[in-house]
Chains A and B, each alone.
Chain A
């Protein structure tokens, strides 16, 4: 995998391709990573990020985070901000099929020593309570009409019906409900695909992990304490999105945008997956409203899963969830587009920030942070492979250069097809159990595809992010129990 000759190092963890690299580029492209990560970077990333740089209304740079790899249109790890008032476009490829694929981190006051003897029972019960796998359906029985309300109200719908605590809303991005969601912009097919799926994990790289905090893995003691983490404590982290609903919204609008992009808006298509339309157009506005429904559905999905987690822990440990202090740390979306105000060359602008496999990482004092985090910054949850562990980080001032965006995960280095040939699911499960990670999965072949060896080194990815100053490590979290689709 060769880096282009035109790639120049701008600073220790930032590399740039100039706007002259490819015809049509409006801005340079910047790729974040250590020298090692850049050397291993998927070739397609350079092609894709420079295609993104041609999109109308793009501001400053087309960006790719250190976990970047091939995606559709945008690379996964891609970030692009469009001027919302000067013809900026919205692109479904810049958000992804799994709209609001995201992460939630939940703390408890349980210790590793308390959980270890009940780990199998706990994981087995979570596996039963949170369905995972192909086309899985949840315990919530909704009519299509009610589902349309859920997608407009997000987590608020859940809290109003007793599936959570009020504080859960404060600790979710957008307070669990993105304003402007309009279910009239959503097709019946999307509703058909999603109305039975609230409270489910899905499959592939989606998971629910029981993790432990070790003192040796705490990078910032003060911040760890502010976020409620302490040595030996158990946390739960899970990764899932908007399920079939979001996937269909993305598919519907990709087709629509392809049909109008050139004919109506005279935007040349370099890559069909980079289809887009002006945000300020009927198609752009409809997609934005539908996308917000998928954002909200995913928040509601993770909220229902939290409800189940609290029920299971309470059942296994014989105490109410409040007594076990099962509080959220935070919930982040890593496939979204949001209207945010950012300083661009000294002027405050209204920008549509696409983050496709990238996490928002607001610095202290930024608007949108919960009160309790105003002075410390936004928690950032970055998932590693199922074998290596994950990270909690915090947003920093240095994030200004990436519109306060940072990586979302390890990033794959190998296709699923290749991984299946190299690893055997049952054997992998056994080896992980020997190493202290108990795994329940709906798919053993799917497990092989998720082997740690198929991913970039999470420590390297997070280290690059820290080095570039776009987020700062707080703690590394080690898996002990895992539910996978």
Chain B
């Protein structure tokens, strides 16, 4: 579940020029797009994966201005499905409101046998003149979907249906 934040909010430089902590995988998912995202903690991992997802749709994600915000709150019995749900949220807003969102301030807490994610989505409506389009993402798939910690680094592997 997400809420609308009224008024505009500027993306801070850290988000806009965030180092790319993801790479696209060329040898799996022939018809679609696979990526691997990394992060030192879950906040970084989730924001990297969100960027990877947006970057499939928009070539120049740094051109997305922070004009609108959405509060994002998600709950799941499994922590990896929180990532699934977060990426689905980005896809949802792209279709429902033509809103391109970048994610920041992810916090994940655990309680009562389930996991709760809170984050902010900051962005603006798609402008074909400024935002270079790539491929429209239809869905996050569960194929090879994986979130794990390896040698102190969090990694996620995701295949997006385009």
Contact residues of A with B, CB < 8 Å?
42, 69-73, 76, 97-98, 133-137, 189, 192-194, 197, 202-205, 243-244, 247-248, 250-251, 254, 258, 271-273, 412-418, 421, 442-446, 449, 485
Contacts and interface: CB of A to CB of B under 8 A. Distances in A.
A446 B28 CA distance: 18
Contacts of A189: 92, 96
Nearest to B59: A445
A98 B29 CA distance: 16
Contacts of B141: 72, 97, 273
Nearest to A197: B95
Given A415-B26, A416-B32, A443 B95 contact: no
B153 interface: no
Interface in B60-103: 88, 91-92, 94-96, 98
Contacts of B132: 443-445
Contact of A204 (B30, B34, B162): B162
B37 interface: no
B35 to A, nearest CB: 9
Interface string B1-37: 0000000000000000000000011111111111000
Contacts of B58: 134
Given A137-B98, A203-B133, A416 B162 contact: yes
A417 B36 CA distance: 13
Q: Which 3 A-B pairs have the closest CB atoms?
A: A244-B95, A203-B136, A193-B95
B26 A134 contact: no
A133 B142 contact: no
A133 B143 contact: no
Given A97-B139, A134-B126, A272-B142, A415 B29 contact: yes
B30 A415 contact: yes
Given A251-B88, A442-B128, A442-B133, A416 B138 contact: no
Interface of B: 24-34, 57-59, 88, 91-92, 94-96, 98, 126, 128, 132-136, 138-143, 145, 161-162
Contacts of B143: 72-73, 271-273
Contacts of B24: 417
A413 B31 CA distance: 8
With a 10 A CB-CB cut-off, give which of A69, A135, A197, A445 has the most chain B CB atoms.
A135
Contacts of A421: 26
A137 B131 CA distance: 16
A70 B30 contact: yes
Contacts of A412: 30-31
A97 B142 CA distance: 12
B126 A135 contact: yes
A135 B142 contact: no
A446 B133 contact: yes
Given A134-B57, A251-B139, A415 B28 contact: yes
B77 to A, nearest CB: 10
19 contacts: A71-B31, A73-B143, A97-B139, A133-B133, A134-B136, A192-B95, A203-B162, A247-B95, A251-B139, A251-B140, A273-B143, A415-B28, A415-B30, A415-B33, A417-B24, A417-B25, A418-B26, A442-B128, A442-B133
Contacts of B92: 189, 192-193, 248
A189 B88 CA distance: 11
Contact of B30 (A73, A414, A445): A414
Given A97-B161, A251-B88, A135 B136 contact: yes
A69 B29 CA distance: 9
A387 to B, nearest CB: 18
A78 to B, nearest CB: 13
Contacts of B26: 415, 417-418, 421
A133 B98 contact: no
A135 B30 contact: no
A243 B92 CA distance: 12
A271 B91 CA distance: 23
Given A71-B31, A418-B27, 15 more contacts: A98-B161, A135-B95, A135-B136, A189-B96, A193-B92, A204-B136, A244-B91, A250-B139, A254-B142, A414-B30, A416-B32, A417-B26, A418-B26, A443-B134, A449-B134
Nearest to B99: A135
A273 to B, nearest CB: 5
A351 B39 CA distance: 48
Contacts of A449: 134-135
Contacts of B95: 135, 192-194, 197, 243-244, 247-248
Contacts of A244: 91, 95-96, 138
B73 to A, nearest CB: 15
Contacts of B30: 42, 69-70, 412-415
